[in-house]
Amino acid sequence: MAPKKLLLAAAFALASLNAFALQTVDPVEGQNSFVKISAKETTRLYIDGGKIRSLIATDGELTVEKDDDRGQLFVRPVVLNKPINVRVIASSGTTYNLVMQAVDIPQEDIVIREPFNVRAERNVAAGAGGKKGAASGMDRTVRSLVAAMALEEPPSNVEVRATKQEFSLWENTYFVMIAVYNERELVGEKYVLTNTGKTPMRLVEQELYRKGVVAVAIENMQLDPGQSTNIYVVRSN
C-alpha cells in the first residue's frame, strides 16, 4: 500500500476509535436510554457534575466496581448475547434506565447529563452549602428565581429589567446578559452564550461561580459551533 494510503487508513482508524471514546446520554426519567459498552474492557459510567448513588442490574449479567469518592462506576458485561437493563440512581434522587449493549470496542466512557431542572436543583443546594434545613427560606427563594428566569414567567414580587451587556468570557464565545431579575435579597441574571468557534465546546457550571454567586444553571452543557444556550446566575443582593 502506498504511503499516502497508509496515512489515510491510519487516520480513519484513529477517527473510528475516537468516535467511541465518549458517549453522552441525555436521559429522561421513566424512559430507556440506549448505550454501548465494551464487551472485553471496562466502561466508566458517571454523571456530569453529580454522583451515582447506586446501580441495579440483574444478578450475573454485569460486574460493577464503584468509586465512592467520585461517585462513578466501572462496569464489565458478563453476558454478551443480549442487552443488559440497568437502573442508575443518582445522588439527586432521580432514577435513569439504561439499556446496555456489549460491542467489540475499546474501554469506554459514558457520561449521563441530567435534565436542566435536576441540575438547577443540585446547584442551588450546593450554593446553600449543603446545610440541613437549607431548603427553607433562602434556598426556596433561589429555586423560585431560577425557575422564573427559565420559564420567563417572573413572580409579581420580582422586578425584571431587560438589558444587553456584553462580557468577555472565553475565547471563541459571545456572552451577553439579556435580563436582570431583582428580588429583595437576590439578583438573578440571565445570559446567552454562543459558541463562535469551529469546534464543539463543553460547559462547566462551576467555572461561572464567583464571590457572591449562590447558584448557576446552564440549559445546554455542550454547544456545537454557532449554537447558543441560556445561562442563569443568582447572586446575593
On whether both 83 and 141 belong to a single domain, the answer is no
The C-alpha R_g of the chain, in whole angstroms, comes to: 21
Q: How far apart are the first and last CA of the chain?
A: 68
Whole-angstrom distance, CA of residue 214 vs CA of residue 236: 7
- Mark which of 63, 94, 112 sits at the end of a domain: 112
**Torsion angle of the four alpha carbons 51, 104, 200, 52, in this order, in degrees rounded to the nearest 10:** 0
Q: Note whether 213 and 120 are same-domain residues.
A: yes
The answer to whether residues 216 and 123 touch, using CB atoms and an 8 Å cutoff, is yes
Residue type for position 24:
T
Which three-class secondary structure state does DSSP give residue 149?
helix
What pairs with residue 112 in β-bridges? Answer: 25, 47
189 & 95 share domain = no
pLDDT tens-digit profile of 169-213? 899 999 999 999 988 788 999 999 999 999 999 888 888 888 888
Question: Do residues 53 and 164 both lie within one domain?
Answer: no
Structural domain includes residue 104: yes
- What is the pLDDT confidence band of residue 167, given thresholds at 50, 70 and 90? very high
Could you tell me the maximum CA-CA distance found in the chain, to the nearest angstrom?
Answer: 73
Q: How many domains does the chain have?
A: 2
Query: Is residue 6 situated within a structural domain?
Result: no
Of the candidate ranges 46-55, 112-121, 126-135, the one whose mean pLDDT is the lowest: 126-135
pLDDT number for residue 237: 75
pLDDT at position 172 is: 93
Q: Are residues 88 and 141 in the same domain?
A: no
Whether residue 224 sits in one domain with residue 155:
yes
More confident call, 190 vs 22: 190
Residue tagged 426519567 (cell numbers): 29
Report the side by side order of strands in the sheet with 52-57.
Answer: 32-38, 95-103, 84-90, 52-57
Residue 208 lies in a domain: yes
Mark which of 88, 112, 136 sits at the end of a domain: 112
pLDDT, tens only, 140-160: 778 778 888 887 667 677 788
131 lies in some domain: yes
Q: What percent of the chain has pLDDT over 70?
A: 81
Q: How confident is the model at residue 18 (pLDDT cuts 50, 70, 90)?
A: very low
Mean pLDDT, range 58-68, rounded to an integer: 94
pLDDT at position 155, please?
67
Are 132 and 40 members of one domain? Answer: no
The reply to whether 203 falls in a domain is yes
- Residue range 116-134: mean pLDDT, rounded: 59
Q: Are residues 81 and 131 in the same domain?
A: no
What range does the domain containing 88 cover? Answer: 20-112
Same-domain status, 41 and 54 = yes
Q: Tell me how far the alpha carbon of residue 56 is from its chain's centroid.
A: 22
Residues 155 and 213 in one domain: yes
Q: Look at residues 112, 143, 165 and tell me which one is the last residue of a structural domain.
A: 112
- Inform me whether the pLDDT recorded for 103 exceeds 90: yes
Percent of the chain clearing pLDDT 90 (strictly above): 49
In 48-115, beta strands by DSSP E: 52-57, 62-67, 72-77, 84-90, 95-103, 108-112
C-alpha cell at 150: 427559565
pLDDT over 70 (residue 58): yes
